Amino acid sequence: MTAYDALFRHAFTRVEPEKAHHLGFRAVRAAAPVSSRLALPGGPVRAMGLAFPNVLGLAAGFDKNAVGVDGLAGLGFGHVEVGTVTGRPQPGNPQPRLFRLPADGAVVNRMGFNNDGAAVVSQRLAAWRSRRHRHTPVLGVNIGKTKVVPEDDQAAVEDDYRLSTRLLAPYADYLVVNVSSPNTPGLRSLQSVERLGPLLDAVRAEADATTARRVPLLVKIAPDLADEDVLAVADLAKQLGLDGITATNTTISREGLTSSPAEVEAIGAGGLSGRPLTARAEQVMRLLRDRVGPDLTLVGVGGITTVDDARARLAAGATLLQGYSAFVYEGPLWPRRILRGVASG
């Protein structure tokens, strides 16, 4: 462990998690003029018609409002997925809503899509696109449902995702339809193929009506789907001509944790991420790859912590990788460490 890492870990594990996130993210942004001069590690990956500078990206939820893409790219991430952005701005759930379980290398969050909304993020991305960048990472935009839109009103849900698509597709290298966060009531019911098919069709049509370029479209799924439902999404993706699947989001399960049941209970509801997710996320990846064949892009996310985890996820069929929780625990050198390890394998 380097001195930088030690400082990072000790300083940031003593601070309240959401505050630590803001402090850490501020430092990452402040370092952008310097960090963005460093060479990007790892070899390029072509996927969905895009040239990714390397295999590892930052998962959605870290930069929900697209305020720090350059600083994050400076740490080595070849792609940054901003969002989740919702059609309308919303405050998210009351704090505290972000928790660590250090004994498990895990995070629990019930942020609830706190974000500035599609219109503000769209303007921010327009400004970002108009600036010059030393390394331009691939920019993914992850979109989700505004909380006040009733989840059982399919037309209203489609309108909400369409609004985000119209505003954000022009600036996105790829779009992800998030139907898998556990923190927006009813959101995950949109994963059923009867609802997901029409929703993805609506987003596809809106993106095509907005931009001449064909913006690649992915869907992000939960690890809590039954295997047969994972396979149903895989079949749907092929049938609809989707560009990819991102697997997985956080889990509502609390099984197999070493943290005390009292500590886990005290945290309450939310999505669990990090090490406890590694095995299931890898299994979902394998199921998907076996079903979709070699061509569809699959983005592997969930519990990727070590170089071995990263290699195993690629071996299970991932085209690209993402991480969030391990970055929180291991600090700013984590992406380069993983990329160096994967490249040397």
Ligand X SMILES: Cc1cc2nc3c(=O)[nH]c(=O)nc-3n(C[C@H](O)[C@H](O)[C@H](O)COP(=O)(O)O)c2cc1C
CA distance 319 to 243: 12
- The residue among 140, 147, 139, 141 whose CA lies nearest residue 114 is 147
Does 183 appear as a known binding residue?
yes
Q: Which of 164, 180, 181, 273 is catalytic?
A: 181
175 binds ligand X (CB under 6 A): no
Question: Burial, 319: exposed, middle or buried (Cβ in 10 Å; 0-12, 13-18, 19+)?
Answer: buried
Does 27 appear as a known binding residue?
no
Does 48 appear as a known binding residue?
no
142 binds ligand X (CB under 6 A): yes
Contact range with ligand X by CB under 6 A, out of 23-31, 46-54, 261-269, 271-279: 271-279
CB 273 within 8 A of CB 303: yes
In whole angstroms, the minimum distance from the beta carbon of 45 to ligand X comes to 18
CA distance 5 to 3: 5
CA distance 9 to 251: 25
- CB nearer to ligand X: give 33 or 256: 256
147 binds ligand X (CB under 6 A): no
In whole angstroms, the minimum distance from the beta carbon of 59 to ligand X comes to 3
Is position 181 annotated as part of the catalytic site?
Answer: yes
Q: Amino acid identity of 65?
A: N
Site residue total, ligand X (CB under 6 A): 28
Does 65 appear as a known binding residue?
no
68 binds ligand X (CB under 6 A): no
Q: Which residue, chain included where needed, has tokens 């000790």?
A: 10
Select the residue interacting with ligand X from 146, 191, 250, 319 (CB under 6 A).
Answer: 250
107 binds ligand X (CB under 6 A): yes
In whole angstroms, the minimum distance from the beta carbon of 130 to ligand X comes to 25
Distance of CA 275 to the CA centre of its chain: 16
181 binds ligand X (CB under 6 A): yes
For residue 312, the number of C-alpha atoms closer than 13 Å in the C-beta half-sphere is 16
42, 135, 325, 336 from 340: Cα distances, Å: 6, 18, 19, 6
| Footprint (CB under 6 A) of ligand X, residues 298-337 | 301-304, 323-326
273 binds ligand X (CB under 6 A): yes
CA distance 143 to 115: 11
Does 114 appear as a known binding residue?
no
Three-state SS at 66: coil
CA distance 283 to 99: 26
35 binds ligand X (CB under 6 A): no
3-state secondary structure 227-290: HHHHHHHHHHHHHHCCCEEEECCCECCCCCCCCCHHHHHHHCCCEEEEHHHHHHHHHHHHHHHH
Enter the DSSP assignment of 260.
-
Enter the DSSP assignment of 251.
B
Measured from each CB, the residue nearest to ligand X is: 61
Residues annotated as binding site? 60-64, 84, 109-113, 142, 178, 183, 220, 248-250, 274, 303, 324-325
Residues annotated as binding site for FMN? 60-64, 84, 142, 178, 220, 248, 274, 303, 324-325
Catalytically active residues are 181
Q: Rule CB under 6 A: which residues touch ligand X?
A: 59-61, 64, 83-84, 98, 107, 109, 111, 113, 142, 178, 181, 220, 249-250, 273-274, 277, 301-304, 323-326
Residues annotated as binding site for substrate? 64, 109-113, 178, 183, 249-250
